Amino acid sequence: MRHIYKEKQMEHTKNSTKTEHLISLSVVLVILFLWFYTTSMGLVSETLVPSPISVWDSFLDILKNGYKGSTLIQHLAASMGRLIKAYVLAMITAIPLGLLSGYNSKIRALLEPVIEFYRPLPPLAYYTLLVLWMGIGDGSKIMLLFLAGFAPIYIACAAGVNKVKKIMY
């Protein structure tokens, strides 16, 4: 009897998942239709909202010819390089500091106010300050990504150490 119930439950889950996917696809198609309709009827300025066709053509042009002398792959590689550098720096600093904070309450008392101050702020809110301090180059971009990754890694490490019973170490 349980077996039949589980099969029916799984079938219901599959059907509801298909329905959810269909609803999501329908929303995207309606938005695309409205976008195409408003631009083709001239309801909005082509300067403010380009048509889906011109956006697609521009995408293909950038894909084929690149943008400002560099290909899309080169731009993606530069972005991934910055992301990897920031992630590695965040791991190198946040894990040891998180472990130390978990072991030592004085270190935690020193670090947590700073982290809890900037953690809820959206990273783009302090990006202007980073650009003023570090310039428009890669340094400010890497620092932004570093700060975005540091807090969650630090908090996870400190919480993990706090969950371990004190007898174990």
Q: Of 47, 65, 83, which residue sits at a domain end?
A: 65
**pLDDT exceeds 60 at position 107:** yes
Residues 19 and 61 in one domain: yes
Residue 45 has what pLDDT?
87
Percent of the chain residues topping a pLDDT of 70 = 88
Residue 47 has what pLDDT?
86
* Residues paired with 70 in a beta bridge: 67
Which stretches of the chain are DSSP H helices? 2-40, 52-65, 72-103, 105-118, 127-134, 138-163
Residues 160 and 120 in one domain: yes
Residues 93 and 11 in one domain: no
Residues 89 and 49 in one domain: no
**pLDDT exceeds 80 at position 6:** no
**pLDDT exceeds 80 at position 92:** yes
Residues 61 and 76 in one domain: no
Residues 150 and 85 in one domain: yes
Residues 18 and 87 in one domain: no
Contact present, 150 and 93 (Cβ < 8 Å): yes
Residue 16 has what pLDDT?
76
Residue 69 banded pLDDT, cuts 50, 70, 90 = confident
Residues 50 and 99 in one domain: no
Report which of residues 70 and 152 the model is more confident about.
Answer: 152
Residues 17 and 95 in one domain: no
Residues 44 and 77 in one domain: no
Q: Of 50, 65, 80, which residue sits at a domain end?
A: 65
Please tell me what DSSP assigns to residue 70: B
Residue 155 has what pLDDT?
94
Report which of residues 79 and 7 the model is more confident about.
Answer: 79
The total number of structural domains that make up the chain:
2
Nearest CA to 139 among 87, 86, 90?
Answer: 86
Q: Of 28, 43, 65, which residue sits at a domain end?
A: 65
Residues 121 and 104 in one domain: yes
Q: What is the pTM of this model?
A: 0.68
Task: Say if residue 2 is exposed, middle or buried (CB neighbours under 10 Å; 0-12, 13-18, 19+).
Answer: exposed
Alpha carbon 81 to chain centroid, angstroms: 16
The whole-chain average pLDDT of the chain stands at 88
Residues 46 and 96 in one domain: no
**pLDDT exceeds 60 at position 169:** no
Where in the sequence is the domain holding 112, given as residue range(s)?
72-168
Contact present, 161 and 102 (Cβ < 8 Å): yes
